[in-house]
């Protein structure tokens, strides 16, 4: 019936609107350090069963196929793409994870106390702590501080933070950066600021030193760029627009059919 066609097409427009929103967000964050793109997954809705396969028809023959009419589509979830972003040259405080893992940063207790990020655009705050270069200045966890009189600063591949002070050529260790990995990173919760928090779907964080147990290594002076592929996103945008047009055409066709039926009843 045309009413079912209207419902299916309307569900298609609603689902495509979600896809458009996700694509727009990906493109908006094409220059956001450590940003991970998303895609929308879809699933079909329930079906009206008009005839079951395998049952006998009026002639006593077994139906080889059934007759089902679908009721449309809905978004089933947004799936994160954790492919590595391209490396960019940064400042001495910028850090990049080459491989798997997330930096640990402190957040409000209402958010769980610890969040995880791939963004490595760090700076030193007024207290000498290494923090994210963001409005809230999320500090690394465990906290690492560099004295104000430090004249040199370095981070090794295994995350050891060293500095030297004037008059003392011997390097001092300020701490070691810890990385976290997850069994299912796609199950992490996005809270903005390129931050994630753990969920029951992601599993508990597996924490340790960089370069151990499948964790990536640290690259100082580099920063991981967004992994958004503008070309692919623009292609997806065009496909979404075309799908919008096709579903809109279905609505117009169903409307014309209903109008014709209404006129026949006069």
Q: What is the 3-state secondary structure (H, E, C) of 213-249?
A: CCCCEEEECEEECCCCCHHHHHHHHHHHHHHHHHHHH
pLDDT of residue 264: 76
Percent pLDDT > 90 in the chain is 79
Residues 6+ apart with CB under 8 A from 107: 113, 114, 115, 138, 191, 195, 197
Residue with tokens 């627009």: 241
Look at residue 262 and tell me whether its pLDDT is greater than 80.
no
Look at residue 168 and tell me whether its pLDDT is greater than 70.
yes
Look at residue 254 and tell me whether its pLDDT is greater than 90.
no
Region 121-135: mean pLDDT is 94
Which tens digits make up the pLDDT trace of 213-246? 999 999 999 999 999 999 999 999 999 999 999 9
Look at residue 57 and tell me whether its pLDDT is greater than 90.
no
Percent pLDDT > 70 in the chain is 99
- pTM, two decimals, is 0.88
Look at residue 28 and tell me whether its pLDDT is greater than 70.
yes
Look at residue 266 and tell me whether its pLDDT is greater than 70.
no
Buried b vs exposed e over 45-76: b needs ≥16 C-beta within 10 Å? eeeeeeeeeeeeeeeeeeeeeeeeeeebbebe
Mutual angle of helices 230-264 and 2-28, in 10-degree steps: 160
Nearest CA-CA partner of 44 in 95, 86, 8: 8
């Amino acid at each position: 019936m045309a009413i079912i066609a209207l419902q299916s097409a309307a569900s298609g427009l609603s689902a495509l609107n979600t896809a458009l929103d996700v694509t727009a967000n990906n493109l908006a964050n094409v220059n956001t350090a450590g940003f991970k793109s998303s895609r929308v997954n879809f699933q079909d809705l329930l079906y009206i069963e008009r005839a079951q396969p395998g049952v006998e028809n009026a002639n006593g023959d077994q139906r080889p196929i059934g007759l089902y009419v679908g009721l449309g589509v809905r978004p089933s979830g947004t799936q994160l793409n954790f492919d590595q972003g391209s490396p960019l040259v940064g400042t001495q405080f910028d850090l990049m994870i080459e491989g798997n893992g997330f930096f640990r940063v402190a957040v409000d207790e209402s958010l769980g106390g610890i969040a995880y990020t791939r963004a490595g655009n760090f700076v030193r705050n007024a207290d000498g702590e290494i923090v994210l270069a963001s409005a809230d200045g999320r500090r690394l966890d465990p906290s690492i501080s560099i004295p104000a009189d430090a004249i040199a600063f370095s981070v090794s591949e295994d995350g050891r933070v060293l500095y030297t002070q004037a008059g003392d050529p011997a390097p001092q260790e300020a701490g070691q950066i810890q990385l976290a990995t997850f069994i299912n990173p796609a199950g992490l919760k996005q809270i903005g600021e390129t931050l994630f928090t753990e969920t029951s779907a992601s599993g508990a964080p597996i924490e340790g030193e960089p370069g151990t147990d499948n964790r990536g290594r640290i690259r100082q002076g580099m920063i991981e760029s967004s992994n958004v592929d503008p070309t692919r996103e623009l292609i997806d945008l065009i496909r979404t627009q075309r799908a919008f047009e096709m579903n809109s055409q279905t609505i117009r066709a169903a409307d014309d059919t209903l109008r014709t039926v209404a006129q026949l009843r006069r």
